[in-house]
Amino acid sequence: DQQVKQNSPSLSVQEGRISILNCDYTNSMFDYFLWYKKYPAEGPTFLISISSIKDKNEDGRFTVFLNKSAKHLSLHIVPSQPGDSAVYFCAVGGGLTGGGNKLTFGTGTQLKVEL
Amino acid sequence: DSGVTQTPKHLITATGQRVTLRCSPRSGDLSVYWYQQSLDQGLQFLIQYYNGEERAKGNILERFSAQQFPDLHSELNLSSLELGDSALYFCASSGTGANSPLHFGNGTRLTVT
């Protein structure tokens, strides 16, 4: 049973435009939400996070939005740059994930930023 | 560079064999996590250790085991390997804060032939 879903396996955006990546989760007990970026042949790199007490967190070009009632998380990248081309994973933690800081990951969205 | 080191980068072995993957966490991190990424799959949590003790367990097969040593490095042992065990195996470490993000190594690519 997939607890974290990224329904778009791929997304293509023009340079300078906004990229919006989406993520849905099933359990309202999750209380910590993160986005990771992964380039080929590298491990996932932490990008930005948000706790359940907030609905928005911003860091430079990256903003994460949390809609708890809809159990939906999104990542906005503005403006998109070619170097942003990577696979983006959303991850959730806390609640029923089993203790510790264990994270449950979505299947990823491949973002391609075109010139 | 995340500061997490995994060796080897690549491993090719035959079915039925046993392999050991090694991970050195970031300096100061007490928690180590192991994840498996199969083709077209997300990262599946296997197991977490904190300061030498098992802390959380995911869907880790009985053929797989792990440990964390006093110097905090960790090893993931995979035995009686099957073709389906071919995957990327990632190690991550984190600090002690409740919501400390995980920092990942570059993974070990295991190919079972």
Contact between B42 and A89 using a beta-carbon 8 Å cutoff: yes
Residues of A in contact with B55 (CB under 8 A): 99-100
Amino acid, single-letter form, for residue A51:
S
Q: In the 3-class helix/strand/coil scheme, how is chain A assigned residue by residue?
A: CCCEECCCCEEEEECCCCEEEEEEECCCCCCEEEEEEECCCCCCEEEEEEECCCCEEEECCEEEEEECCCCEEEEEECCCCHHHCEEEEEEEECCCCCCCCCEEECCCEEEEEEC
Contact between B102 and A103 using a beta-carbon 8 Å cutoff: yes
| Pair B75, B23: CB distance under 8 Å | yes
Residues of B in contact with A94 (CB under 8 A): 98-99
Give mean pLDDT, residues A24-47: 93
Where would I find the H helices in chain B? Answer: none
State yes or no: pLDDT of A87 exceeds 80.
yes
User: How confident is residue A97, by pLDDT bands cut at 50, 70 and 90?
Assistant: very low
Q: Residue A107 phi/psi, 5° resolution?
A: -85, -5
How many Å lie between the alpha carbon of B103 and the closest alpha carbon of chain A?
A: 7
Facing residue for A106 by CB, picked from B42, B45, B100? B42
Collapsing DSSP states into helix, strand and coil, what is residue B67? strand
**pLDDT string in tens for chain B (113-residue length):** 889 999 999 999 999 999 999 999 999 999 999 999 997 778 999 999 999 999 999 989 999 999 999 999 999 999 999 999 999 999 999 987 777 889 999 999 999 99
pLDDT for position A2? 78
Return the structure tokens found at B71: 């110097």
- Bridge partners (DSSP) of residue B36 are B44, B89
State yes or no: pLDDT of A59 exceeds 90.
yes
pLDDT for position B2? 85
| Pair A74, A65: CB distance under 8 Å | yes
Contact between B104 and A43 using a beta-carbon 8 Å cutoff: yes
